[in-house]
Structure 1
Amino acid sequence: METTATIRGEIVKYLQNHRMTINQFAKISGINSGTLSNIINGNRPMSMHQLDRITEGMGLEEGQFYGLYITESIFHTTPDWRRLGPFLGRCAELDKLDCLHKAARMTMENINYAPMLFEMAEEFFNREKYKAAALLYECVAESEKFQHSERLALCQYRLFVMELSDNVEANLKLAVSFEHYIDRLDDEYQLDAYRKLINVNISFQRWDTIEVLARKMGHKARLQYKNNCKIAIMSDGQEKPIIFYILYSFLIQANVRREAGNFEEALSYLSMYEDPDWIKAPSDQEKIIINQFKEWAKANRYLYRLMSGDFDVISEYVNYVEARTDEIFTALCNIVVAANRHRFNIDHILEKFKEYQAYKPQRSRLGKISEQVTMNRYARLLTELGIYYLNSKKFDRGLTFIIDSLEYSIRIKSDRGMLRCMGIFEQFRQYSSKEIQKRYNDLINDVQKLSVYAWSPQV
């Protein structure tokens, strides 16, 4: 019998060291003695279930022999999905991702396995085994990189969604890379993919790109709606009415005009999502969406007047959002920007909404607000609060907010945010205390470390 570095050899060694017969080990492992004998003698391939039984019977850690199993049952034999599928599943369960990746790459030498690996990746994705799913999506995408298949596009979409993080610079790279594939996605996935791309680009205020994406999303959503398609699929598998994407496209295009200071055009788009009378016999879920957009429209009417310099509207705006706690954080961000633009005094509002100056995930009646959007708003809020207090000559308080914003920008790796905070601090450095200067210098060291890491040569 074999005694080399194989699974069979390890079994034989175990039996010898423990002076155990095959029949005795068969009782311990729960595997038929004849089957066990054939496995040891190389007359029968070993299933995943049998391998796990044998490993447990030997008192070893689960997955102990998975590396050897890849070599013996995958690399040196024609892959059999009846063995490979369960093996990949167990690797995901035990977090043996190195074994999963190695086996999947070996398997992809035969592109006929791409559909099966893709289906398993989808299974992992639905079970929230995201790291395992990502490895399989990458393998499938690599094997089909010269194809123009919907499967390739969905792989890239899944990877885009799973890899989004609180690293805003990395998110932008993901968005730019994925954008090339979006039009190849099935229609049911495209709309939410556009929404996610828009939200990532908002973090960088890439308004030209955002407008293009919003127009495309709105156009595709209207076409689907006219074709009596009422539901789109979100990245987490949940369904969302298509009217959301139509109204959201109008809201985003209004925001683009608002950022450009063109409030007249912004109002024309606002009216499109404020009163969508083209929606006939809306469902209960659609009614919730319609009402939420109406509320946003009313808040934005106040906002446009405020941004235009009409300070008299601020009490109405505050009273409106105060009764809608989900809207206070966004309104506070907008009010501080307007105050800095027009030199308004908003001390009483900042005191009223003091608890909303801390970061926390945001929600609306439609669900959780995109984390990318919330991160961008919070970083900007900290900076704008700093500018507000600096303009008021409250230098210590203002610089503290600038340092807070710098620290947060470092955490989310926002180059734009870091540069802005550093520029403001240097402008007001002469007014900073020793304590604030020390904190700033410590953070600058962190910025330098990030730069060294980002530009270090690959060896």
Structure 2
Amino acid sequence: MEPTTTIRSYIEDYIRKQGYTLQYFADISGVNAGTLSAIIKGTRPIAMAQLDLITQGMKLEEGYFYEIYGAECFVESAPHWRRLEPFLQRCAELDKLECIHKVIQEVTDDRSYISELFEMAEGMLERGQTKAARMLYECVAECEKYQHSERLALCQYRIFTLSLGQDQHENLRAAVHFEPYINRLDEERQLDAIKDLANTYLALRYWDKLFSLSDELDQKTKILQLYTKKKIDKSERLTAYPLFVYRAYSNLLKSAACEGLGKYEEALYYTGVYTDVVNIHNSNEEDRMYISKFKIWAEANTYVYKLMMGDLSILPAYVDFIEINESEVLPAMTNILEVANKFNQDINEILHKFSVQIYSEIDKLKGYTDQVRSDIYITFLLGQSVYHLNRGQYLEGMNQLLYCLNEAVKINNQKETIHCAALYERYRHISTPDHAQQYKKIMMGVERNYDKKENRLFHLA
């Protein structure tokens, strides 16, 4: 198809080459013959529904004409929202992202559509059309006239959450970019924004930053609770959770930050704080669901912090707890491995006991973001490789180490990539030729990734 070909000329050529009458094509396409005639003559614009029917009647794939339609209706002529809205929606449904990109670049000169584009992005997000929604949010954010508006902040919040993925370096960039916009959000939405930002830093293990954000979340929640006289119904509130959940979670995150810094007594203190926070009366069904979660986390974390402080006598009780709470198997085994490596404990029996659940639960971890889930898995693999290497089980330890290195490289976890590489170099003398070949292959992949980044930075063409 030549770039100068119009949709109506394409339809006209098709009817002529097929030897159809206008009425016959109208019958097989489902478009009125008079309407079809007016479209071909150029006296009537094509509606989206009619374009889809015509495309189907010509036995072409859905969206075949969308690129030309976008150029004809929204680039070469003044766009009208009544036609633009269904076009963008259909493009989102068919994942025609390039068509969306080209059209919104042209229409944003008319700022009167910014509000409609924002509302459309919100609808797309609800329907799970995340890639298309992100394009619209970015467009609105770029064109927002008032740089301190709540709509701009909300766009940046949506872009931040949609940007999060398995690449930890990119997650950090997204977090740093979004943080200045938090205080421009509605006070209720700020709670979810700070929570999401804190979760990102939790996965990145930025403990000091995690603690400060958690404290900010705690303080903002306290203020909202003071000014909220009655319990807000789930359908009316802007927050994803009841207010008490944010206070409890902020203190759970503080305990996690203290654990990461090796301050286990302080971690136990904050565990006690969120245990008290969820000890509420007149709870409803939703409240009780979260209360149960926090009580389980509090019990698990109490075991962990006491173990880290050297109280190994409670290890059997912790194992009993894991058996009852199977969703905690992987995080618990990660902690037990850390304790075993720290205090030189033999946990072969425990590893064997939960060997099946460990590898089957990674995708089923509940209550964790994808980023934190990946971090837990990497930490488990590294802890297990260290455990085997420390105990002279070199083949198993080296296999686990290289698998961990490969997984760390996949998600661009630079800290653990370096940790794994350093550990490999320490034990290089016991590696097999196969291990050496695997290591070389993985590190060549790392080198290629950095070469690509350098090319992106310095390529001017």
Same fold per TM (> 0.5)? yes
Q: Using the TM superposition, give the Cα deviation of residue 214 of structure 1 relative to its aligned residue in structure 2, in angstroms.
A: 0.6
Q: 1:230–1:432: structure 2 CA closer, same or farther, 3 Å change rule?
A: farther
Contact 1:188–1:233 under 8 Å retained in 2: no
- Range with bigger deviation, 107-116 or 66-75: 66-75
Q: Using the TM superposition, give the Cα deviation of residue 390 of structure 1 relative to its aligned residue in structure 2, in angstroms.
A: 1.9
**Structure 1, gaps ≥5 residues long:** none
Alignment of 1:207-218 (within 5 A): 207-218=207-218
Q: Using the TM superposition, give the Cα deviation of residue 116 of structure 1 relative to its aligned residue in structure 2, in angstroms.
A: 0.8
Amino acid at match of 1:332: M
Indicate the RMSD between aligned Cα atoms, in angstroms.
2.4
Amino acid at match of 1:173: R
| Partners of 2:60 and 2:12 in 1: CA distance | 15
Secondary structure class of the residue paired with 1:172: helix
Partner of 2:48: 48
Deviation track 1:59-108 (CA, whole Å, cap 9, x = no partner) reads 33332322222222222322111111111112122222211221222111
Deviation track 1:112-171 (CA, whole Å, cap 9, x = no partner) reads 101111111111111111121121111111111762222222222222222222222222
- Range with bigger deviation, 75-84 or 110-119: 75-84
**Percent identity among equivalent residues?**
38
| Residue 272 (structure 1) aligned with residue 290 (structure 2) | no
Partner of 1:309: 310
- Range with bigger deviation, 427-436 or 113-122: 427-436
Q: 1:32–1:432: structure 2 CA closer, same or farther, 3 Å change rule?
A: closer
Q: Using the TM superposition, give the Cα deviation of residue 433 of structure 1 relative to its aligned residue in structure 2, in angstroms.
A: 2.1
Deviation track 1:283-336 (CA, whole Å, cap 9, x = no partner) reads 122122223222222222222221111222212222222221122221111111
**Structure 2, gaps ≥5 residues long:** none
Deviation track 1:375-429 (CA, whole Å, cap 9, x = no partner) reads 1111111111121222222222222221121011112121111110000110111
| Partners of 2:335 and 2:287 in 1: CA distance | 28
| Residue 358 (structure 1) aligned with residue 373 (structure 2) | no
Q: Using the TM superposition, give the Cα deviation of residue 172 of structure 1 relative to its aligned residue in structure 2, in angstroms.
A: 1.6
The count of corresponding residues between Structure 1 and Structure 2 is 452
Contact 1:150–1:186 under 8 Å retained in 2: yes
Contact 1:258–1:266 under 8 Å retained in 2: yes
| Partners of 2:233 and 2:180 in 1: CA distance | 21
| Residue 416 (structure 1) aligned with residue 415 (structure 2) | yes
| Partners of 1:184 and 1:230 in 2: CA distance | 25
| Partners of 2:220 and 2:9 in 1: CA distance | 61
- Range with bigger deviation, 181-190 or 222-231: 222-231
Deviation track 1:222-264 (CA, whole Å, cap 9, x = no partner) reads 2223314756999xx9942221111011111122222223233
Secondary structure class of the residue paired with 1:44: coil
Contact 1:275–1:294 under 8 Å retained in 2: no
Partner of 1:117: 117
Contact 2:337–2:383 under 8 Å retained in 1: yes
Partner of 1:407: 406
Partner of 1:127: 127
Q: 1:172–1:356: structure 2 CA closer, same or farther, 3 Å change rule?
A: farther
Amino acid at match of 2:368: I
Contact 2:405–2:420 under 8 Å retained in 1: yes
| Residue 346 (structure 1) aligned with residue 344 (structure 2) | no
Partner of 1:389: 388
| Partners of 1:250 and 1:187 in 2: CA distance | 19
Partner of 1:263: 264
Q: 1:354–1:20: structure 2 CA closer, same or farther, 3 Å change rule?
A: closer
Q: 1:211–1:262: structure 2 CA closer, same or farther, 3 Å change rule?
A: same
Q: Using the TM superposition, give the Cα deviation of residue 351 of structure 1 relative to its aligned residue in structure 2, in angstroms.
A: 2.1
Partner of 1:283: 284
Partner of 2:136: 136
Partner of 1:186: 186
| TM-score under structure 2 length normalisation | 0.91
Q: 1:264–1:17: structure 2 CA closer, same or farther, 3 Å change rule?
A: closer
Q: 1:76–1:286: structure 2 CA closer, same or farther, 3 Å change rule?
A: same
Q: Using the TM superposition, give the Cα deviation of residue 275 of structure 1 relative to its aligned residue in structure 2, in angstroms.
A: 2.3
Amino acid at match of 1:386: S
| Partners of 1:350 and 1:166 in 2: CA distance | 27
Contact 2:188–2:239 under 8 Å retained in 1: no
| Partners of 1:399 and 1:34 in 2: CA distance | 75
| Partners of 1:456 and 1:290 in 2: CA distance | 51
Alignment of 1:220-231 (within 5 A): 220-226=220-226, 227-228=228-229, 230=231
Q: 1:360–1:173: structure 2 CA closer, same or farther, 3 Å change rule?
A: farther
| Residue 165 (structure 1) aligned with residue 165 (structure 2) | yes
